[in-house]
Structure 1
Amino acid sequence: MSPESGSIARLRAVEVSGDESVVEGPLRGYHHETYVVPLPGATGAARAARWKCREPRSNLLWFDRRCFTSEEQLLRVLQGRIARIPDVFEIDGLALQRFVEGRTLGSLYGAGQAVPHDVVRQIVELFGELAAVTSETLPVERRCHPEDRPADGDTAGFMERLICFTEQRVYEKNLPEFEALFAAIGLDGDSFRRLRKHVSGLRERPFCLLHADLHRENFIIDADRRLWTIDWELAMVGDPLYELATHLHLMRYPSWQRHRVVEQWRRTVETVRPGSSNGWRHDLRLLIDYKRAQSVFTDVIREALSLGHGAYASGPRLAHVAARLYKILADAALPLGLESVPAPSSIGTALVRWQRAHAGDVRIGEP
């Protein structure tokens, strides 16, 4: 029997579908264990579709803010306002998202590859739709604290809350386990002081809804070449330029296409809400720098945990992880104020020392 066979998510999927043989999954995903099922007794469009039944994975590290109480509630409110997002269907009090049939953008065009014009056009249209959704027109319950909701246009306050989350919930929360590893590669509490100084002076822009995780695996291309946007769990209200910065950071467009996307984004959001691109030439670089700095702390932890121990403490896997962390550190050296970046060999040595110190930690090697 596989570990998933007795999971809550699978048991619920079997219960909803009424037939274990039609349950597909678990699907690939970090935060949730997800299964896809048809709905017996459904009518119309619901009968023709398949639906996602999922549960959060246990013992996972969350490195991103979550603003809304319910992703399904948000999707209901956004129907008709954001084109091509999953429908939501409720059965016996359980909210299910429609499974979007198609292929991820990343499976068709991998990181670093150019994205076809027709797809970029739809991504830019999505930016315009997001810019039109404001906090005042979004009647959805929030889970974030009041201090995490700066006044409309307060981009500096928005950035400060993002830095606070990274500092408190990623760095400080994990210090008992990772302080020695952080220190070995040049990271400490002063890193955040330097980061705050680096990103200071942001211009004001009117806030709007942000998906906040627009990368190639969260875009689905259906059989008619239509672009669908999934996984709205990290959505928030905030600086529209932060949405663009996050998108560029995650998408890894070739440089020539990146410039075109920025210009199309600017024209689109200014048409929808004038002022949305205010100061973009100065601020976009700073926001991308924040994303690079944030990645250092999250990726150091994730990569260290992914190594496992024993046979994985050396060899090609360790060399690959050390080289990857070296590049991430080098990319973030400026915003973090790093005078030098340790060589991949030094990073590898630090990882081995950390592994040996935590050989009995049950979290090592978790998904």
Structure 2
Amino acid sequence: MSAEGVSPTRERAVRMSGGDASAVEGPLEGYHHETYVIPLPDAAGEEDDEDAAPVRAKCRAPRGGLLWFDRRCFVSEEQLLAALQGRITGIPDLIEVGEIRLQRFIEGRTLGSRYAAGRTVPEPVVDQILDLFRQLIGVSPRSLAAERRCVPEDRAEDGDCAGFLEGLVRFVEERVYQDNLASFEELFAALGVDEDSFRALRKHVVVPGLAERPFSLLHADLHRENFVLDPAGRLWTIDWELAMLGDPLYDLATHLYLMRYPDHQQERLIERWCAVAEEVRPGSTEGRREDLPRLLDFKRAQSVFTDVIRATEILDTGRSFNWRRWPTEAMRVQRVLTRAAVPLGLDEVPNLRTVAAALLDWYRLRGRRTS
């Protein structure tokens, strides 16, 4: 924060909008970045339309001190988007402002704000989602000119889906669980999760082996808040920071897990996805019936670590314990533990009372006051 209590990111947004603080919208909701929307009057819309609204862009910066729950493959989201221009439709344009490259802000509403999780998604929107998958699967690792940040030894060979999944399990084990044991070991233990959970997870999802499928570009975070519907009904896809190269079936599994389609729509989407994937790159659905359930179980297990840690961030406001959110977060954690019981090898899932007590005890062990 600056001396006046205004964040440097907001100050930069005000400067880039010509000094008009009232024109700055935000911060927007988002875990990884502090983001503001700013007008760019000189970055025009239609040249022959004097009444066209000024272009708006995102001005953002990474939030400090965050825990990352997913691997990041590419050096820069903007660099990736630049490489995908003309190859993937419905992605943000890039705007050069001096030496800074900004993403154009997509005007519209998120899919989740119109159709909440569990609700049926209209077929015209599903058609556009499948078109996105068609384009993603068409981007092979060798055809993508975007600099990668992951070291070569962490990259599975093209088609090695078991190696790809093992890399994801290893990231959760080492970077999410082990690196944060000093803060969360007691809490995880109280919930029945420890290093044995990863042995159970590997035995359940990796050891049986996965079929080989040709790798492609994955968005890896396709949920309802990362889809924006503009006023014309066109679907846009935002937040490409977790994109990676790997097993296309993993992208489908992540999408299904996050979208929470009604059962009838999910089954139909899987069928249509398989037809699209085989049309674009034959072999992309090899072993789907055996491997998709395993990939979904990995997502269920991964969510335990994500949701437990995020629950603590919500409950610890920095000033006091968030009593109002305590029941909600306890129910959420208990629910993800129940869903992940099999892949994590949990003999018994703690009940709601036990989960709630574990979250409160974690807070007190940190020397916090609860009032």
Please state which band the TM-score falls in when normalised by the shorter chain.
over 0.9
Give the distance between the partners of 1:167 and 1:4, measured in 2 at CA.
Answer: 41
Cα 1:45/1:63, change in 2 over 3 Å: farther
Instruction: Note if contact 1:313-1:352 (Cα within 8 Å) is conserved in structure 2.
Output: no
Aligned residue type for 1:167:
E
Instruction: Note if contact 1:241-1:284 (Cα within 8 Å) is conserved in structure 2.
Output: yes
Find 2:288's aligned residue among 280, 284, 292: 280
Cα-to-partner distance string for 1:22-51 (whole Å, 9 max, x where unaligned): 222211212111111122433455984211
Q: Tell me whether 1:52 sits opposite 2:58 in the alignment.
A: yes
Aligned residue type for 2:362:
W
Matched residue, 2:238? 230
Give the distance between the partners of 1:76 and 1:145, measured in 2 at CA.
Answer: 22
Give the distance between the partners of 1:281 and 1:196, measured in 2 at CA.
Answer: 19
Matched residue, 1:11? 11
How far did residue 8 of structure 1 move?
1.9
Matched residue, 2:135? 129
Alignment of 1:185-204 (within 5 A): 185-200=191-206, 201-204=209-212
Cα 1:54/1:336, change in 2 over 3 Å: same
Aligned residue type for 1:12:
R
Give the distance between the partners of 1:27 and 1:101, measured in 2 at CA.
Answer: 13
Find 1:102's aligned residue among 83, 97, 108: 108
How far did residue 319 of structure 1 move?
2.3
Give the distance between the partners of 1:5 and 1:339, measured in 2 at CA.
Answer: 49
Cα 1:40/1:160, change in 2 over 3 Å: same
Q: Tell me whether 1:36 sits opposite 2:32 in the alignment.
A: no
Matched residue, 2:79? 73
Instruction: Note if contact 1:130-1:209 (Cα within 8 Å) is conserved in structure 2.
Output: yes
Comparing both structures, which one devotes a greater share of its residues to helix?
A: 1
Find 2:306's aligned residue among 291, 298, 304: 298
Give the distance between the partners of 2:195 and 2:4, measured in 1 at CA.
Answer: 40
Find 2:118's aligned residue among 112, 119, 136: 112
Farther-moved stretch of structure 1 (233-242 vs 141-150): 141-150
Q: Secondary structure of 2:102's partner?
A: strand
Aligned residue type for 2:265:
Q
Give the distance between the partners of 1:247 and 1:42, measured in 2 at CA.
Answer: 34
Q: Secondary structure of 1:334's partner?
A: coil
Matched residue, 1:151? 157
Q: Secondary structure of 2:342's partner?
A: helix
How far did residue 19 of structure 1 move?
3.0
Give the distance between the partners of 2:333 and 2:11, measured in 1 at CA.
Answer: 39
Farther-moved stretch of structure 1 (351-360 vs 164-173): 351-360
Alignment of 1:208-219 (within 5 A): 208-219=216-227
Aligned residue type for 1:184:
A
Q: Tell me whether 1:344 sits opposite 2:352 in the alignment.
A: yes
Instruction: Note if contact 2:41-2:55 (Cα within 8 Å) is conserved in structure 1.
Output: no
How far did residue 321 of structure 1 move?
1.7
Farther-moved stretch of structure 1 (72-81 vs 297-306): 297-306
Mind listing any 5+ residue stretches in structure 1 that lack a counterpart? none
Instruction: Note if contact 2:43-2:55 (Cα within 8 Å) is conserved in structure 1.
Output: no
Instruction: Note if contact 2:226-2:238 (Cα within 8 Å) is conserved in structure 1.
Output: yes
Find 1:270's aligned residue among 278, 287, 292: 278
Cα 1:45/1:67, change in 2 over 3 Å: farther
Give the distance between the partners of 2:242 and 2:4, measured in 1 at CA.
Answer: 25
Give the distance between the partners of 2:33 and 2:114, measured in 1 at CA.
Answer: 23
Cα-to-partner distance string for 1:278-337 (whole Å, 9 max, x where unaligned): 1111100000000000000111111022112786465x5322222211110010001001
Instruction: Note if contact 2:9-2:34 (Cα within 8 Å) is conserved in structure 1.
Output: yes
Farther-moved stretch of structure 1 (56-65 vs 244-253): 56-65
Q: Secondary structure of 2:116's partner?
A: coil
Give the distance between the partners of 1:313 and 1:32, measured in 2 at CA.
Answer: 23
Q: Percent identity?
A: 59
Instruction: Note if contact 1:4-1:10 (Cα within 8 Å) is conserved in structure 2.
Output: no
Q: Tell me whether 1:245 sits opposite 2:263 in the alignment.
A: no
Aligned length: 361
Mind listing any 5+ residue stretches in structure 2 that lack a counterpart? 48-52
Q: Tell me whether 1:307 sits opposite 2:315 in the alignment.
A: yes
Give the distance between the partners of 1:267 and 1:311, measured in 2 at CA.
Answer: 52
Matched residue, 1:331? 339
Aligned residue type for 1:161:
G
Aligned residue type for 2:354:
S
Give the distance between the partners of 1:142 and 1:5, measured in 2 at CA.
Answer: 36
Give the distance between the partners of 1:2 and 1:320, measured in 2 at CA.
Answer: 34
Cα-to-partner distance string for 1:249-287 (whole Å, 9 max, x where unaligned): 000000000001101100001100000011111100000
Instruction: Note if contact 2:320-2:368 (Cα within 8 Å) is conserved in structure 1.
Output: no
Q: Secondary structure of 1:336's partner?
A: coil
Instruction: Note if contact 2:59-2:102 (Cα within 8 Å) is conserved in structure 1.
Output: yes
Give the distance between the partners of 2:27 and 2:315, measured in 1 at CA.
Answer: 23
Instruction: Note if contact 1:100-1:228 (Cα within 8 Å) is conserved in structure 2.
Output: yes
